Amino acid sequence: DVKVTQSSRYLVKRTGEKVFLECVQDMDHENMFWYRQDPGLGLRLIYFSYDVKMKEKGDIPEGYSVSREKKERFSLILESASTNQTSMYLCASRLSDGYSNQPQHFGDGTRLSIL
Amino acid sequence: AQKITQTQPGMFVQEKEAVTLDCTYDTSDPSYGLFWYKQPSSGEMIFLIYQGSYDQQNATEGRYSLNFQKARKSANLVISASQLGDSAMYFCAMREVTNSGYALNFGKGTSLLVTP
């Protein structure tokens, strides 16, 4: 089974702090994704990475950056946290084998509160 | 513009009954894929079923099936013989092909409550 592990289930930070959310997958997947989930808005794509050191902006990249130095790890960085970044953050990974039916596999999520 | 529409914010169904969760989509790409995910209250997203735009038959996975009507651009999820453990949020998502890979565009979800 694919295992996607997010470093924290719950996190509380202060406004202005630099925040790191870590995600690790154990299945050698090329593609990795970061979403945020807010009530009534569904999941929105922040950034994704199609391979090591490769990244592409999603729908809502403002205020975020990402890092992918190793294939198994994809980090989301809040450069200067703000209260409107309080949300549930979900990481996902996907095998890139040329078959479009490969699903994304998700971690358990990180509930981040910015005070 | 929103590409995936789930019009039912919440649904109730009695245990052992079947239920249909609606999903319509908008795309001009002839090649696309549709995914359904389940999210229990614990938060993890669980992949349920996939339908490709060129698939000739409707997808089925155990108690889950997809009612895929291409001309209507709808991909409704049917859950047969509902169980209490089916109570969760359900998300429909469409695969988009970008220059560098596959991203998913999600609907806002439908909350399903299965009652005894």
B83 pLDDT exceeds 60? yes
Q: Could you read off the pLDDT of A55-84 as tens digits, one per residue?
A: 999 989 999 999 999 999 999 999 999 999
Query: Which candidate, B111, B82, B76, B86, places its Cα nearest to that of B18?
Result: B82
Query: Measured in whole angstroms, how far is the alpha carbon of residue A91 from the centre of its chain?
Result: 4
Buried b (16+ CB within 10 A) or exposed e, A16-31: eeebebbbbbeeebbb
Residue given tokens 């989930």 in the structure block: A37
pLDDT band at A101 (very low <50, low <70, confident <90, very high): confident
The mean per-residue pLDDT over the stretch B94-109 comes to: 79
Q: Which of A42, A103, A108 sits opposite B43 (nearest CB)?
A: A108
When the pLDDT of each residue in chain B is averaged and rounded to a whole number, the result is: 92
When the pLDDT of each residue in chain A is averaged and rounded to a whole number, the result is: 93
pLDDT band at B100 (very low <50, low <70, confident <90, very high): low
Looking at chain B, which residue has its C-alpha nearest residue A41? B108
Contact A100 B102 (CB under 8 A): yes
Q: Could you read off the pLDDT of A10-52 as tens digits, one per residue?
A: 999 999 999 999 999 998 999 999 999 998 888 999 999 988 8
Give the gap in angstroms from C-alpha B84 to the nearest C-alpha of chain A. 21
